């Protein structure tokens, strides 16, 4: 477009005028700053530094370091109090050395009191603190956020109860509970940091931080940041986000550093070392002829880990059945916990049966003795050690060391499986570590007895190191129970043994292979027993996952709404169940999927329609408007008298939402018209009132049969869809990666079914509803046998063109 000279001059003049105005404003601004008084300048600088401080505090690395510091302090504090409780236990036990009965009472009563306090405190303050907390954390990271497990009340209950449980010397560990503690600290710290930075108000981002809390929890127990980050990757998340790697490593490293620095600061240790530092030889750590033995240990630990999970599952199911029956021991949390505490304390009583299993040693002392680089025995006879040495507990005048270790393994095996079923904060990590280390020590001592001169390599004699076998046994058995490889890395970090990397990894991998083929991990078993909404993993030997398709296990009877649905249809569908989302199709004949509508949106449509009819009653006969207005005022006063329940916040079970609408004056009759009270009409004997009542009811029925308009309703135009030929493996992968709760199944754009976590879970577990048989659907069998012929994998183009797919592009 051409511009003449006058317009050009005006344009340039306008530009210069704007620039001059901007310069004058800037100059005025500079003059105003220079004219400020000293107090005003100070306030401006304070405001500037406040903004920088908020920006600095809201940084990611500040959050991660704070998280590591908090969890490290909590872990160190728990260890300090546990040591105090243990020393007090030994002091009371030694104080009553004048009589065996008094010693027994002191040994049992002390543990009993701490156990009962822990059980009562955990179940009274917050019963969500019981157990390890890893199954609930896995479920929350799956997408089903269990918010009650991540509160400050749960944190207090968990830490205090766990301290008392560990002080009672029950064969449980703190590592599992501290994974939960780390996640709770991460969730609470996100709430605190949201005061400084709005990014911490993002729900999805805060859920990702739970994985960082899991890594910090492990790192602050074993001083193993690398193993902690890998453990959080393997256990808590089915699919790990790459951006959480550096977060997990940074927070876990800082937390592990603080956890090992605090004992130095407290004068308990001289410098930063591994938690269970060992002194094995480095020039020739192991001989190649020992590798088959390490591999055999991994296989045995794989079977042992699977059996431990099986035993734990059986005991847990038995306890759950007794709770359902409300038996005497399960009436409250004290009876069962007290009985188990008395039983275990009696068996570990040092002058009694405990003398055959080193009952006076704690879990930490047992691990130190198992990892010792000295050989205990000479032909089964334990060498003489000082009385203050941990190894002196393994010397018995009548029994050799092999029997002692065997009794220790057997007794601790079932004791640990029993203890982790108690309603207290407890973990299985350290007890399994101790049992695996005892098994490795047994193998190592046996080889040292068979080969007292060790191995001769090029004229050099290298003796067998039984402590190294204990390290490998501990890592292998723990891997078999938890189905993780990171336990090997944790073991290398907590012992400082890098030279045994290859034997540890070989044994851990073999243990995983054996255990995963026999049983799920102990955390997945707990999820199944507690019936948490978590999707199980597909096992390696699940060959049918490629032969089973969505059409074999999908739900075909799907409730849906159409563009022609009436308000009566909406009410009927809402009352028929508590579905959170309903599919929207074009019509019942075509079943073309147009999108999905949330339940809250439909409830909002009904409420909006009711309010609209109250405000606009033009469709009602004129002679009834006076009665309508009177009844509306009465209904409004009734509604104000009774508060409206939160029906639109969260879908509840079946009738509750619709009932809440009824309670607020929104029942089937009052949805669209606050009609006159029937009792008032009955009092009027005039026949005209009966006619009025009948006509008003007819008018209400007409309102219910009106077609719903979805213009003010939010519709998801692209809900997640699967086709009928989607395999079970692919369906499982998509549900896991995208954290789906449901998906619609379509065939050429038409809705044919739906799949939820419930149907997918049953398909993976391999059971049909009501039959309990292995899943081999009839359709899959017919496909394999060719009874119905080969089904074409592709569809001809003319078949696609025959269907009115263009109608799918309906303008919602």
pLDDT score at 257: 92
Listed residue (325, 525, 534, 520) closest to 420, CA to CA: 525
The pLDDT-based confidence of 40 (bands split at 50, 70, 90) is low
Over residues 490-507, the pLDDT tens digits come to 999 988 888 888 999 999
pLDDT score at 239: 66
Rounded Cα gap, residues 262 and 6, in angstroms: 80
Query: Which tops the pLDDT comparison, 240 or 450?
Result: 450
Q: Is the pLDDT of residue 192 over 70?
A: yes
Rounded Cα gap, residues 211 and 233, in angstroms: 8
Q: Is the pLDDT of residue 175 over 70?
A: yes
Query: What would the two tokens of residue 608 be?
Result: 């909006």
- The arithmetic mean of pLDDT across residues 691-711, rounded, is 69
pLDDT score at 697: 63
- DSSP 8-state code for residue 566: B
pLDDT score at 534: 77
Rounded Cα gap, residues 577 and 755, in angstroms: 16
- 298 CB-near residues (< 8 Å, 6+ apart): 476, 506, 507, 508, 509, 510, 511, 514
| Arithmetic mean of pLDDT over the chain | 77
pLDDT score at 654: 43
Query: Which tops the pLDDT comparison, 691 or 124?
Result: 124
Q: Which residues pair with 583 in a beta bridge?
A: 596
The pLDDT-based confidence of 415 (bands split at 50, 70, 90) is very high
Q: Regarding beta strands 381-382 and 377-378, do their DSSP bridges make them parallel or antiparallel, or are they unpaired?
A: antiparallel
Q: Is the pLDDT of residue 330 over 60?
A: yes
pLDDT score at 114: 93
Domains, the chain: 56-266 (1.10.3080.10), 293-530 (1.10.3080.10), 535-620+706-773 (3.10.580.10)
Listed residue (454, 440, 465) closest to 373, CA to CA: 465
- The arithmetic mean of pLDDT across residues 457-464, rounded, is 76
Q: What are residue 331's phi and psi, to 5 degrees?
A: -70, -30
pLDDT score at 677: 43
Please list, residue by residue across 108-146, b when 16 or more beta carbons sit within 10 angstroms of its beta carbon and e when fewer do.
bebbbebbbbbbbbbbebbebbbbbbbbbbbbbbbbebe
Q: Is the pLDDT of residue 601 over 90?
A: no
pLDDT score at 668: 41
Rounded Cα gap, residues 712 and 601, in angstroms: 9
pLDDT score at 86: 92
Helices (H) and strands (E) in the chain, counts: 30, 10
CB neighbours of residue 156 within 10 Å: 15
For 698-704, the CB contacts below 8 A with 24+ separation are 699/619, 699/620, 699/621, 699/624, 699/673, 700/669, 700/672, 700/673, 700/675, 702/619, 703/567, 703/613, 703/619, 703/671, 703/672, 703/673, 704/566, 704/567, 704/568, 704/571, 704/668, 704/671, 704/672
pLDDT score at 666: 41
pLDDT score at 13: 46
Q: Is the pLDDT of residue 797 over 50?
A: no
Largest CA distance in the chain: 122
Rounded Cα gap, residues 92 and 469, in angstroms: 36
Q: Is the pLDDT of residue 629 over 60?
A: no
pLDDT score at 738: 79
User: H or E segment at 803?
Assistant: none
Over residues 640-697, the pLDDT tens digits come to 444 433 333 334 434 454 544 444 434 444 444 444 444 444 444 455 556 666 666 6
Q: Is the pLDDT of residue 286 over 50?
A: yes
Query: Which tops the pLDDT comparison, 454 or 793?
Result: 454
Q: Is the pLDDT of residue 708 over 90?
A: no
User: pLDDT over 70 for what percent of the chain?
Assistant: 72
Query: Which tops the pLDDT comparison, 565 or 795?
Result: 565
pTM for this entry? 0.75
Rounded Cα gap, residues 668 and 677, in angstroms: 15
Q: Is the pLDDT of residue 82 over 90?
A: yes
Rounded Cα gap, residues 751 and 251, in angstroms: 47
Q: Which of 8-17, 209-218, 235-244, 756-765 has the lowest mean pLDDT?
A: 8-17
pLDDT score at 309: 94
In the numeric block, the tokens 């739906």 are attached to 754
Please list, residue by residue across 274-291, b when 16 or more beta carbons sit within 10 angstroms of its beta carbon and e when fewer do.
bbbebebeeeebbeeebe
Sign of the C-alpha dihedral computed for residues 766, 298, 218 and 409 taken in this order: positive
Distances (CA, A) of 749 to 585, 804, 808: 10, 10, 8
Query: Which tops the pLDDT comparison, 427 or 611?
Result: 427
Listed residue (722, 730, 672, 725) closest to 696, CA to CA: 672
Q: How many residues does the chain have?
A: 812
Q: Which of 228-232, 435-439, 770-774 has the lowest mean pLDDT?
A: 770-774
Q: Is the pLDDT of residue 34 over 80?
A: no
Q: Exposed/middle/buried for 794, CB within 10 Å: 0-12, 13-18, 19+?
A: exposed
Rounded Cα gap, residues 143 and 210, in angstroms: 12
SS3 686: coil
Angle between helices 567-576 and 687-704 (to 10 degrees): 80
Please list, residue by residue across 533-542, b when 16 or more beta carbons sit within 10 angstroms of its beta carbon and e when fewer do.
ebbebeeeee
Rounded Cα gap, residues 520 and 484, in angstroms: 12
Over residues 539-580, the pLDDT tens digits come to 655 566 677 888 888 888 888 888 888 888 888 888 877 778
Q: Which of 84-93, 198-207, 755-764 has the lowest mean pLDDT?
A: 198-207
Q: In what order do the strands lie in the sheet with 561-562?
A: 561-562, 581-585, 593-598
How remote is the C-alpha of 714 from its chain's centroid? Answer: 31
Rounded Cα gap, residues 159 and 157, in angstroms: 6
Distances (CA, A) of 397 to 400, 401, 596: 8, 10, 76
- DSSP code per residue over 60-124: HHHHHHHHHHHHHHHHHHHHHHHHHHHHHHHHHHHHTTT-HHHHHHHHHHHHHHHHHHHHHHHHH
- 368 CB-near residues (< 8 Å, 6+ apart): 276, 390
User: In angstroms, how far is the first alpha carbon of the chain from the final one?
Assistant: 41
pLDDT score at 806: 39
Over residues 288-308, the pLDDT tens digits come to 888 999 999 999 999 999 999
The pLDDT-based confidence of 383 (bands split at 50, 70, 90) is low
Rounded Cα gap, residues 131 and 422, in angstroms: 8
Highest mean pLDDT among 324-328, 520-524, 631-635: 520-524
Q: Is the pLDDT of residue 467 over 60?
A: yes
């Amino acid at each position: 477009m051409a511009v003449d000279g006058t317009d050009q001059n005006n344009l340039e003049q306008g530009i210069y005028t704007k620039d001059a105005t901007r310069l004058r404003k800037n100059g005025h601004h500079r003059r105003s700053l220079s004219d400020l008084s000293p107090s005003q300048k100070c306030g401006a600088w304070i405001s500037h530094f406040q903004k920088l401080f908020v920006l600095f505090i809201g940084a990611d690395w500040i959050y991660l370091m704070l998280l590591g510091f908090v969890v490290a302090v909590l872990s160190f504090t728990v260890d300090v109090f546990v040591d105090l409780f243990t020393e007090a236990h030994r002091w009371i036990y030694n104080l009553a050395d004048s009589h065996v009965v008094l010693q027994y009472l002191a040994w049992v009563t002390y543990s009993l009191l701490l156990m009962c306090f822990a059980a009562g405190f955990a179940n009274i303050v917050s019963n969500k603190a019981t157990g390890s907390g890893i199954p609930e954390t896995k479920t929350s990271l799956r997408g089903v956020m269990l918010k009650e497990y991540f509160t400050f009340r749960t944190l207090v209950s968990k830490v205090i109860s766990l301290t008392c449980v560990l002080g009672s010397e029950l064969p449980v560990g703190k590592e599992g509970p501290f994974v939960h503690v780390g996640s709770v600290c991460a969730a609470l710290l996100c709430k605190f940091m949201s005061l400084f930075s709005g990014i911490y108000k993002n729900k999805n981002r805060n859920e990702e931080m739970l994985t960082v809390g899991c890594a910090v929890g492990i790192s602050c127990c074993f001083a193993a940041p690398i193993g902690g980050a890998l453990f959080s990757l393997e256990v808590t998340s089915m699919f790990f986000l790459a951006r959480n790697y550096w977060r997990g490593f940074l927070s876990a490293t800082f937390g592990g550093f603080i956890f090992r620095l605090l004992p130095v600061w407290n004068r308990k240790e001289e410098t930063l070392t591994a938690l269970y530092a060992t002194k094995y030889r480095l020039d020739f750590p192991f001989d190649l002829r020992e590798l088959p033995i390490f591999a055999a240990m991994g296989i045995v630990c794989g079977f042992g880990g699977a059996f431990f999970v099986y035993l734990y599952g059986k005991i847990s199911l038995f306890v759950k059945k007794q709770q359902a029956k409300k038996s005497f021991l399960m009436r409250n949390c004290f009876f069962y916990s007290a009985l188990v505490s008395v039983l275990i304390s009696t068996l570990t009583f040092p002058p009694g049966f405990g003398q055959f299993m080193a009952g006076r040693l704690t879990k930490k002392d047992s691990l130190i003795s198992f990892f010792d680089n000295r050989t205990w025995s000479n032909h089964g006879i334990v060498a003489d050690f000082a009385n203050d040495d941990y190894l002196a507990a393994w010397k018995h005048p009548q029994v050799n060391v092999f029997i002692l270790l065997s009794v220790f393994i057997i007794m601790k095996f079932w004791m640990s499986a029993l203890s982790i079923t108690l309603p207290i904060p407890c973990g299985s990590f350290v007890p399994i570590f101790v049992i695996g280390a005892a098994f490795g020590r047994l193998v190592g001592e046996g080889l040292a007895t068979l080969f007292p001169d060790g191995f001769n390599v090029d004229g050099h004699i290298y003796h067998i190191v039984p402590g190294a076998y204990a390290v490998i046994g501990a890592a292998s058995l723990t891997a078999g129970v938890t189905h993780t490889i990171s336990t090997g890395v944790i073991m290398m970090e907590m012992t400082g043994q890098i030279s045994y990397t290859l034997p540890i990894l070989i044994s851990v991998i073999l243990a995983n292979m054996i255990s995963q083929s026999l049983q799920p991990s102990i955390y997945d078993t707990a999820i199944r027993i507690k019936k948490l909404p978590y999707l199980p993993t597909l096992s390696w030997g699940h060959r049918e996952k490629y032969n089973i398709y969505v059409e074999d296990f999908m739900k075909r009877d799907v409730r849906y709404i159409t563009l022609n649905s009436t308000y009566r249809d909406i009410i009927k569908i809402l009352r028929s169940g508590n579905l959170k989302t309903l599919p929207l199709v074009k019509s019942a004949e075509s079943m073309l999927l147009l999108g999905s509508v949330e339940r809250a949106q439909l409830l909002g449509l009904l409420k909006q329609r009711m309010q609209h009819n109250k405000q606009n009653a033009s469709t009602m006969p004129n002679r009834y408007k006076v009665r309508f207005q009177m009844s509306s005022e009465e209904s409004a006063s009734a509604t104000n008298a009774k508060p409206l329940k939160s029906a639109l916040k969260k879908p509840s079970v079946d009738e509750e939402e619709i009932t809440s609408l009824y309670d607020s004056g929104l029942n089937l009759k009052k949805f669209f018209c606050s009609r006159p009270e029937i009792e008032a009409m009955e009092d009027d004997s005039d026949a005209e009132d009966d006619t009025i009542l009948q006509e008003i009811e007819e008018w209400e029925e007409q309102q219910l049969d009106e077609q719903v308009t979805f213009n003010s309703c939010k519709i998801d135009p692209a809900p997640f869809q699967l086709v009928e030929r989607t395999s079970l493996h692919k369906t499982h992968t998509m549900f896991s990666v995208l954290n789906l709760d449901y998906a619609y199944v379509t065939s050429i754009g038409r809705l044919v079914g739906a799949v939820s976590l419930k149907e997918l879970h049953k398909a993976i577990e391999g059971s049909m509803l009501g039959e309990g048989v292995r899943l081999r659907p009839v359709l899959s069998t017919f496909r394999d046998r060719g009874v119905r012929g080969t089904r074409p994998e592709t569809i001809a183009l003319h078949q696609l063109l025959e269907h009115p797919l263009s109608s799918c592009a309906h303008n919602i």
